[in-house]
Amino acid sequence: MLGGKRDREQRKIEPTLLRVDDPESDPLMREELFGPLLPLVTVPHLEAAIAKVQAGPKPLALYLFGKRAQDRERLRSCTSSGSLAFNDVVVQVGVPQLPLGGVGESGMGAYHGRTGFLTFSHQRSILEQRFWPDIAFRYPPYAGKLPLVKRLIG
């Protein structure tokens, strides 16, 4: 464990990094985390990490530390998560232009900036058709009407 100091008077808890040796049995990995906790799960190689992510519910956030562009692309294309960050943690939450939200069990929809406005808005389609003039070729039977339709849209 690294971090985790608390100040009850100021009601603050320092961000805490927690090493998770057995993610399948660790209670920390069974529930969604709310708080300054970041579990660290080490894996022997990228394919093992991808397999682990694909085997469980889609995470709210997924982080990869490394310099290889092909590793970033592989993780991006083979996993699904609410957000994906490379070589940093939690910073994406503070960027208003980036949509923030989950997928699957970690939540649906997104918010922040324009994306948040659209998520919490209802775009309502409204069509008003006049009764006259009404064009007869819109209605069945359609036999013999195809040449006229092709001329109109062609």
Structure tokens at 33: 């985390």
Average pLDDT, the chain: 85
Q: Which domains, and CATH codes, for the chain?
A: 2-113 (3.40.309.10)
**Among 42, 89, 95, 48, which Cα is nearest to 71's?**
48
Residue 79 has pLDDT above 90, yes or no: yes
Q: With cut-offs at 50, 70 and 90, classify the pLDDT of residue 72.
A: very high
| pLDDT digits 0-9 by tens, 94-142 | 888 888 888 877 777 777 777 777 777 777 777 777 778 877 777 888 8
Non-local (6+) Cβ contacts of 5 within 8 A are 13, 14
Q: Whole-prediction pTM value?
A: 0.64
| pLDDT digits 0-9 by tens, 33-64 | 777 888 888 889 999 999 999 998 888 889 99
Q: Whole-angstrom Cα distance, residue 24 to residue 28?
A: 10
- Give me the torsion for CA of 52, 53, 59, 62, rounded to 10°: 100
> Would you tell me how many other CB atoms lie within 10 Å of the CB of residue 81?
19
pLDDT at 10: 93
